[in-house]
Amino acid sequence: MLQTTALVHEAYLRLVDQSRVKWEGRTHFFGAAAVTMRRILVEQARRRLRAKRGGGAEHDSLDDALTIALEPDLDVIALDLAIEDLAKLDADRARVVELRYFAGLSIDETAELLGVSPSAVNRDWTFAKAWLYRRLAGNGGN
């Protein structure tokens, strides 16, 4: 799993007593964090890709630390594009993925954030994963 995601989770989300305190803008913050993390990871991946092709290899060794933390099989850029495709079809399900994967929220936290039941989030999550997997594995899809 992504260390960076864990990082956001660890470093920032726990500033809030998650089970009890609610404050205005919390949804907004988590949302922003998810988007930010997604952007960071994608940029990171793009840059690494460029470096591999020969340009600007200056930062490479430091990025290795991150590479280790990435799921080896998963191409972040492809995932990003796949999530974008999903968002075109179904923005709500894409949002669940963003919150779960990029902000590292649990099912319960995501549910609380979106104001739906945990079982609904679980259902959406299972579905979105299957859809994304199929898209990334390259067999079919709409």
Q: Which residues bind other proteins (CB under 8 A)?
A: 1-4, 6-25, 28-29, 32-33, 36, 40-41, 43-44, 58-59, 61-63, 65-66, 68-69, 89-90, 93, 97, 100-101, 104, 106, 123, 126-127, 129-134, 137, 139-140, 142
Q: Which stretch of DSSP H or E encloses residue 85?
A: helix 76-89
Nearer Cβ to other proteins (43/53): 43
d(CA 106, CA 99): 9
- Token pair, residue 93, equals 């399900």
Nearer Cβ to other proteins (54/62): 62
Nearer Cβ to other proteins (19/115): 19
Neighbouring CB atoms inside 10 A of 78's CB total 14
Nearer Cβ to other proteins (19/54): 19
* CB of 53 vs other proteins, minimal distance in Å: 19
Are 135 and 89 in contact by the 8 Å Cβ rule? The answer is no
Are 27 and 113 in contact by the 8 Å Cβ rule? The answer is yes
